[in-house]
Amino acid sequence: MAFHWTAIPRFIPQLLAGAQLTLLITLAAMALGIAIGAAMAAGRVSRFRVLRLLAGLYVEFIRNTPALLQIFILFFGMPSLGLRMSAVTAGSIALGLNASAYLAEIFRAGLNGVPAGSREAAIALSFSRLHMLAYVTTPLAMRAAWPAFCNLVISILLASSLLSAISVYELTGITNDISTKTFLTFEVYSIAALFYVALNIAVSLLLALTGRLLFPPQSR
Partner 1 sequence: MNFALVWEARWLIFDSFLVTLYLSACAIVGGTVVGMIVALLRQAGIRSLNLALRAYVELFRGTPLLMQLFFIYFGLPLVSIPVDRFWAAFIALTCFTSAYVAEVFRSGIEAIPRGQSEAATALGMGFFHRFFWIIAPQAMRVSLPPLIGVYVSVIKDTSLATVVGYNELTRRAMELMLRFGHPLEFFITVALLYFAICYPISKLSEALERKLTPTAR
Q: Contact positions toward partner 1, by CB under 8 A?
A: 1, 60-61, 63-70, 72-73, 76-77, 79-81, 112, 116, 158-162, 164-165, 172, 175-176, 179-180, 183, 185-186, 189, 192-193, 196-197, 200
Q: Can you tell me the distance from the alpha carbon of 28 to that of 69, in angstroms, rounded to the nearest whole number? A: 19
Closest listed residue to residue 16, CA positions, set 166, 154, 169: 169
The CB-of-45 to partner 1 minimum distance in angstroms stands at: 13
Contacts of residue 186, defined as CB under 8 A and 6 or more positions apart, other chains included, come to 1, 3
Q: Decide whether 35 or 84 has the Cβ nearer to partner 1.
A: 84
Check if the beta carbon of residue 15 is closer than 8 Å to that of residue 173: no
Check if the beta carbon of residue 120 is closer than 8 Å to that of residue 170: no
Complete DSSP assignment for 156-192:
HHHHGGGGGGGT--SHHHHHHHHHHHH--HHHHHHHH
Q: How many CA atoms lie within 13 A of 153 on its CB side?
A: 21
The CB-of-69 to partner 1 minimum distance in angstroms stands at: 5
Q: Decide whether 79 or 213 has the Cβ nearer to partner 1.
A: 79
∠ CA 118-123-128, nearest 5°, is 115
Q: Decide whether 22 or 36 has the Cβ nearer to partner 1.
A: 22
Q: Can you tell me the distance from the alpha carbon of 146 to that of 154, in angstroms, rounded to the nearest whole number? A: 13
The CB-of-169 to partner 1 minimum distance in angstroms stands at: 14
Q: Decide whether 14 or 219 has the Cβ nearer to partner 1.
A: 14
Q: Decide whether 137 or 164 has the Cβ nearer to partner 1.
A: 164
The CB-of-185 to partner 1 minimum distance in angstroms stands at: 5
Q: Decide whether 79 or 214 has the Cβ nearer to partner 1.
A: 79
The CB-of-13 to partner 1 minimum distance in angstroms stands at: 19
Q: Can you tell me the distance from the alpha carbon of 75 to that of 86, in angstroms, rounded to the nearest whole number? A: 8
The CB-of-179 to partner 1 minimum distance in angstroms stands at: 6
